[in-house]
Amino acid sequence: MLRRLYRGFVAALALALWLCSACLAAQEPANLEFGAEALLSGLWTPAELAGSDADRVIGPVGEPDASTPALASTAQSPPARQATPQAMQGAIRRVEPQTPSSPLAQARKPVAITFDLCERANNVAGYNNQIINLLRAAGAKATFFAGGKWMRSHPEAALQLMADPRFELGNHAWTHGNLALMTRSEIETQLHLTEVQYANLRAELTRRAEAKGLGAELARVPQTMPLIRLPYGRSSELALNTLAELGYVVIQWDVEGERDEGRQTADTLAQTALAQVRPGSIILLHANAVPEKSFAILQRLLPALLRQGYEPVTVSELLRLGRPQAVRQGYFTIPGDNLQYDAIFPGKGTLKPDPARPFTTVPVP
């Protein structure tokens, strides 16, 4: 009995220490106190932050871009991390909030709204500036899982997301590779290249901030991306074990906001998502220019969440508020519902398959 209690105490202590480490503690500002947005207001005008229709332009399927980033001379090499504690391993679908003693804390209903920023080797996926504007106007926190190639294709947008104290960025693989189909070496490459691109952008953010006398504000911007979302939601034991050894926390979702987007209205999708949300939920949406209804869904879902007393938090904050609920098989809504993507997307998930897909040179509405 004492031995079991001791083992439980050691596991809890290890988890607490890991959460307090730079892996996650630096990810989430405690609040938006005065001056927290100094980087945003100091480096970009309101018009630049608002963006334009051009942000939502998506590019055609073409020849795969095989180029990869080299670490800039001014960038710091992505730091090594400790292995992920056992309690944080697997694909986390939601967090079961702890029951605090404070009545005020008991009334808290945290929820993490998350957005993928996907991009494969043969397309440019766009950036839905309308979504970010809506989040900022509402003062809502969010987590973005950004592909490395997407960050390279949209550097200004990525820099703004990094500098915004409401938001945090997680890894979404270099070219949206299907990690369930990849070798350990291929998995490591997809993650490492994304970290290199992030490090290069952080170096550029540092250069701009120091030129404006805002160097001290860089302490808010993490050195690395310890959260990851599985492209296609696909996992394998090899992938999950590799990610844990590399110190990543795999974040999935329990509410799929855009399910059957092509056949459902934005009203129906928002109502469906709202009915599924509970305290500790993680909501999946996208901030690319596709899916096309993501902004309209968020327009309806976010105010409804706020009316019902939900508090949008980043994933890192949510992890500190309770116990992760994880599985060993990644999926969208039910196990096995994403296996089809293995055959649909060639190049182990890194390529868009259909040149006839209606990519446009005008903004998505």
Per-residue pLDDT at 175 exceeds 70: yes
Whether residue 17 is predicted with pLDDT greater than 50 in this model: the reply is no
**275: nearest Cα among 250, 256, 292:** 256
Q: Is residue 359 part of a domain?
A: no
* Mean per-residue pLDDT over the chain, rounded: 89
Is residue 54, in this structure, part of any structural domain at all?
yes
Residue 357 domain flag = no
Give the total number of structural domains in the chain. Answer: 1
The pLDDT, as a whole number, for residue 215 is: 94
Statement: residue 143 has pLDDT above 80: yes
pLDDT tier, 25 (very low <50, low <70, confident <90, very high otherwise): very low
Q: Report CA torsion sign: 304, 306, 309, 311.
A: positive
- pLDDT of 16 > 70? The answer is no
- Give the E-state strand segments of the chain in sequence order: 91-97, 109-117, 142-146, 167-171, 227-228, 249-251, 255-256, 282-286, 310-313, 322-327
Q: Is residue 55 part of a domain?
A: yes
Lowest mean pLDDT among 9-13, 33-37, 86-90, 242-246: 9-13
User: Within a domain: residue 356?
Assistant: no
Q: Which residue has the higher pLDDT, 149 or 289?
A: 149
Say if residue 357's pLDDT is above 80: no
Domain that holds residue 300: 2-28+36-61+68-344
The pLDDT value recorded for residue 62 is 80
Is 209 inside any structural domain? Answer: yes
Q: What is the pTM of this model?
A: 0.89
Look at residue 80 and tell me if it is in a domain.
yes
pLDDT tens-digit readout, 305-353: 999 999 999 999 999 999 999 999 999 999 999 999 999 999 999 998 8
Res. 362: pLDDT tops 80: no
Residue 359: band (very low, low, confident or very high) from pLDDT cuts 50, 70, 90: very low
**358 located within any domain:** no
In this structure, what CATH number is given to the domain that contains residue 111? 3.20.20.370
Output the pLDDT for position 205.
97
Cα–Cα distance, 336 to 167 (Å, whole number): 31
Q: What phi and psi values does residue 323 have, to the nearest 5 degrees? A: -105, 120
